[in-house]
Amino acid sequence: ARVFYSSGNGPSKGEQVPQAAPVAVFKLTQDFTKDQFPTKVNLGVGAYRTDEGQTWVLPVVKRAEKIIVSDDRLNHEYLPILGLPEFRSSVSRIALGDDSPAIQENRVGAVQCLGGTGALRIGAEFLRCFYNGNNNTKTPIYVSAPTWENHGAVFTSAGFQDIRPYKYWDAQTRGLDFVGFLSDLESCPERSIFVLHACAHNPTGTDPTQDQWKQIAQVMMRRKLFVFFDFAYQGFASGNLENDAWALRYFVSRGFELFCAQSFSKNFGLYNERVGNLTIVSRDTDNLKRVLSQMEMIVRTTWSNPPSQGARVVALTLTSPELFSEWKDNVKTMADRILLMRSQLKAKLQALGTPGTWDHITEQIGMFSFTGLNPKQVEYLVKEKHIYLMSSGRINMCGLTTKNIDYVAESIHEAVTVVQ
């Protein structure tokens, strides 16, 4: 037996717990925090920052929290295993839309999850257990190349053994490799599972157009591929909740049975409350009932019951017309600040005459920009300029502020000119 600890005679060398690598994005922030350089900049984190470089508690969240804290009817009793009922069925239905036929046909259900990650994980566990036969760990899982670094790992820890990339990013054109994407959809085994970013693709900031989504859906339907949407940035792509849900709603309208992992970390700024929602669109009510009964079993052995605070904030906001409209304004404030930073960064790089084209900075959408900086240029920025960003060249647009943007633009200019 492999022991990792025994009293008396300690573990032998081969049995020691191996050191795991640090999670890149958190390591970057640690390094940033330790750095004493006065004009250091953190473009690594995946969270919103104000123009003062501060985290932002959304005003609507503060209001909702005050209402919750003074509501004497609330208590700390366990929630149902699948979550807060108001949260699982909020009247506003921001993901699928109020008029979703699938909702009217009673074949949509939800599981309140611990963040978008929890929703992906619970969905993945379910698929391993029940998709393509029992415990079919061999079903290929396709994730975009590149993607959020946790996607493959979540499906691996849920037991899947065959994680594959699908073509997505064309480094040459700094845009979508649509031909490659389609050809991977055509050539993969039938019934493969595809993780699709519903909007504001992380890290590339590049989404298919509506017309391209239609073609993607057509191939996926014909080839019987399973769609698992990751919807972590609703509101961040266009500043408008409805527009950002277009792809998801289109797939539902085409009759797909699908999963969608919704995260409220970003659009509510509730990062540490862990608020997520796994939507299940099923073929009929009966099937949905059976799926949810199994979801309950999976949740029971994973976290047993979800936490309530964040879910209450979200449910209250979505069900109160007044709070809902305030929330939409708050989301727009975040999205608009990102747009402003995009246009300023592009303008500054162009004014400096920085080699290369920079149109992709404003063409990309969402929180991130995939700059096209290579790993050496990134290293230069980190080491010489104390500007922290992911080695992929991804930057968080909210890390930019009106105060540091000149420094960042000049530094990028220098990196591109000095380091090939």
The catalytic residue positions are 148, 230, 266
Give backbone dihedrals phi and psi of 263, rounded to 5 degrees, phi first: -115, 140
Q: Does 158 bind ligand NAG (CB under 6 A)?
A: no
Q: How far apart are CA 266 and CA 66, in angstroms?
A: 21
Minimum distance from CB of 379 to ligand NAG (Å)? 40
Strand arrangement of the beta sheet that strand 193-197 belongs to? 108-113, 276-281, 258-263, 226-231, 193-197, 141-145, 163-167
Q: What is the 3-state secondary structure (H, E, C) of 246-276?
A: HHHHHHHHCCCCEEEEEECCCCCCCHHHCCE
Among 279, 308, 396, 411, binds ligand NAG (CB under 6 A): 279
Question: What region, left, alpha or beta, does residue 58 occupy, with left being phi > 0 and alpha being psi -120 to 50 degrees?
Answer: beta
Among 127, 232, 334, 390, binds ligand PLP (CB under 6 A): 232
Asked if 241 and 94 count as a contact pair (C-beta separation under 8 A), the reply is yes
Q: Which of residues 218-247 bind ligand NAG (CB under 6 A)?
A: none
Binding-residue pattern over the window 299 to 338 for ligand NAG, x denoting contact by CB under 6 A: ---------------xx--x--------------------
Q: Which is nearer to ligand PLP, 235 or 354 (CB)?
A: 235
Q: Which is nearer to ligand PLP, 46 or 97 (CB)?
A: 46
13 is written with which tokens?
Answer: 């060398």
* Side chain identity, residue 177: D
Residue 263 contact among ligand PLP, ligand NAG, none, beta carbon within 5 to 8 Å by kind: ligand PLP
Select from 402, 405, 398, 409 the least CA-distant residue to 200.
Answer: 398
Q: Does 354 bind ligand PLP (CB under 6 A)?
A: no
Q: Does 202 bind ligand PLP (CB under 6 A)?
A: yes
Q: Does 282 bind ligand NAG (CB under 6 A)?
A: no
Minimum distance from CB of 41 to ligand NAG (Å)? 34
Size, binding site for ligand PLP by CB under 6 A: 12
At 167 the three-state DSSP class reads strand
Minimum distance from CB of 117 to ligand PLP (Å)? 3
- Sites of contact with ligand NAG (CB under 6 A): 87-90, 93-96, 108, 110, 135, 137, 277, 279, 314-315, 318
